[in-house]
A and B are shown apart, each in its own frame.
Chain A
Amino acid sequence: MGAAPASRDVTSYGMGLAAPLALFFLIFFVAPLLQLLWLSLHNDTAGLHWGLGQYLHFLTDPFSLSVLGSTLLLGAEVTAVCLALGFPIAWLYQRVGPKLQTIIILIVLLPLLTSVVVRTFAWIVILGRQGIINATLQSLGIIDTPLKLLYTQFGVVIALAQVQMPLMTLPLITALGRIDPNLDDASCSLGAGSWRTFFRIVLPLSLPGVIAGCTLTYAAAITAFITQSLIGGGQMLFMPMYLYQQASTLQNWPFASAISIIFLLAVLAVVSVFTTLGRLSRGYGGA
């Protein structure tokens, strides 16, 4: 590391400084994941018989497949809600003065740093039988009996969307800030309306931010164990809880490992699809 040419020496540090963390990750991150993979390829708990039994079990079991499917669908729904709500926030942010900008950022940031258990608990208070929504609707005479909001797909999606909103909004704010405001004005002065300008100019140019936000939101939503289990209740099962039940309650480590690997691959597949789209959109946005 000390052998680098003198001209580069002063502004960059040797790669050796990364060695402690690299070693730490090798032992405590890479090795565990490899062991997870190793155990998932065994048919018995002791890890003596190699085989694809765990994966075959998962992939031929309609129940397991439905858990995977509903988890992936949940992520898509949450991401869509976050995008639809987060984009206008980022748009508004670019329109207001610095004081309001700071307020908007802090409003967006606060949930990110507030405990997930606390945020989820808040949604139980809001969505419950005696919660705000039901109490309001009943006092207005719109409904007679409380609506079932907790332990429903709707409840899980709205709570997760709120919990993950910062992950979508922050990259969007960054992306919109990079667009030349003159483009907006030019489009309008050339006769395109605001809606058309938005869909033809602003949205395409902000695609890198959209994709970054979608990646983070999706990955966070499908792995959000606490919110999924507390708002979804015992009736709705998603991959993280399925994994936890198999590993902890049933002590079926090989099957839990296979679930983990399948889940990891699903997340990686989604992330790499988004990354590829991001690379394509950057070429488009830069044109």
Chain B
Amino acid sequence: MAGRKRTLESFSFELVMTVIALIALVIIISPSLVVLIVSFTSGFSLRFPPPGYSLRWYAELWDAWQLHFAAKNSLIVALWATGLSVVLGVAAALAISRSPTLSARLLDSLFMSPLVLPALAFGLAALMLFSLVGLPVSPLTLVIGHTVVCVPYVVRNTVAALAQLEPTLLESSAVLGASRLYTFRRIVLPLIRPGIIAGAFIAFMSSFDNVPVSLFLRDAATDMLPIRMWQDLEGKLDVTIAALSGVLIIATVALVAVMERVTGLSRRLTN
């Protein structure tokens, strides 16, 4: 930048790029802001700007037991799927991260493939397999299906954290007589923990928000929050959903802020 001639030509370039970037940032952020504002409406419609402000729809949310029930189910499934993803994913990441072999690279591609393959196709396929072996859809099948689509986030973030680890640390530890398990507990785990937490966080969020897999693998009694919301939106535009969206947006912002502190999430996703 320094010493560059400030010509009209370079000015026009920087102006165009900056303006487009600012417009893009506004497009990214505005939907969440709009929902937040509308959720405080005192009226009965989603008109923007609202005719007045109140907390009535948040109060309404307090009594919406169907949504509570769905939220509880989503939370339980997300916690189980995240736990399972961390156990399976971290172990697999340890195995494949430093191995240059073909099998390690093939396994890596296999573990990442749920990220690009259409989840709806996987949901249908899993449902057909479960019905073939006679396993009825239940919270268990939901946890299994969610784990398949969430484990890639744990594997990816753990592999990235392991790649940053200095091998000499492990060698020094071994030379000094520490066992592998001891080295893992005292050196490796503390150093890769932020990576594991970041991966677990993203896995949890994506499970909590999952629709395509849940659509096929849930039983009639297990209502999941995003599906409940989706079906409510298909039917009528309910302002209660705006209040629920407000709660989810605020919760997400709070969680992201905590994660940024704990794991440096933003650096992790751009390196």
Contacts and interface: CB of A to CB of B under 8 A. Distances in A.
Interface of A: 9-22, 24-25, 28-33, 35-36, 39, 84-86, 88-89, 91-92, 95, 102, 104-111, 113-126, 128, 130-132, 135, 158, 161-162, 165-166, 170, 173-174, 177, 185, 188-189, 193-195, 198, 215-216, 219, 222-223, 225-226, 229-230, 239-240, 243-244, 247-248, 253, 256-257, 260-261, 263-264, 267-268, 271
Given A102-B260, A243-B124, 19 more contacts: A21-B88, A25-B110, A29-B110, A33-B121, A111-B31, A118-B32, A121-B241, A122-B34, A162-B28, A165-B24, A193-B9, A194-B9, A216-B116, A230-B230, A240-B118, A243-B120, A253-B128, A256-B124, A267-B118
Contacts of A253: 124, 128
Contacts of B103: 15
Interface residues of B, number: 105
Given A28-B126, A173-B270, A240 B212 contact: yes
B25 A89 contact: yes
B32 A10 contact: no
A21 B151 contact: yes
In order of increasing CB-CB distance, the 6 nearest A-B pairs are A122-B31, A32-B125, A194-B13, A18-B95, A260-B121, A88-B21
Interface string B135-173: 000000000110110010001000000000001001101
B129 interface: yes
B270 A36 contact: no
A21 B91 contact: yes
A188 B253 CA distance: 41
A197 B179 CA distance: 55
B66 interface: no
6 contacts: A88-B20, A89-B24, A122-B31, A162-B27, A222-B118, A240-B120
A31 B133 CA distance: 12
A162 to B, nearest CB: 6
B158 to A, nearest CB: 11
Nearest to A22: B107
B7 A15 contact: no
B256 interface: yes
B19 to A, nearest CB: 8
Nearest to B230: A117
A202 to B, nearest CB: 10
Interface of B: 1, 3-5, 7, 9-10, 12-14, 17-18, 20-25, 27-32, 34-35, 38, 45-48, 87-89, 91-92, 94-96, 98-99, 101, 103-104, 107, 110-111, 113-122, 124-126, 128-129, 132, 144-145, 147-148, 151, 155, 167, 170-171, 173-174, 180, 183, 202, 205, 208-209, 211-212, 215-216, 226, 229-230, 233-234, 237, 241-242, 245, 248-249, 252-253, 255-256, 260, 265-266, 269-271
A256 B127 CA distance: 12
Given A111-B28, A226-B211, A130 B45 contact: yes
Nearest to A131: B48
The interface residues of chain B, by DSSP majority, are classed as: helix
B230 A226 contact: yes
A104 B25 contact: yes
Contact of B35 (A110, A125, A195, A230): A125
Contact of A116 (B17, B95, B124, B211): B211
A92 B91 contact: no
B18 A28 contact: no
B191 to A, nearest CB: 13
B23 A113 contact: no
A32 B120 contact: no
Contacts of A185: 1, 3-4
A257 B12 CA distance: 53
A195 B9 contact: yes
A173 B202 CA distance: 20
B88 to A, nearest CB: 4
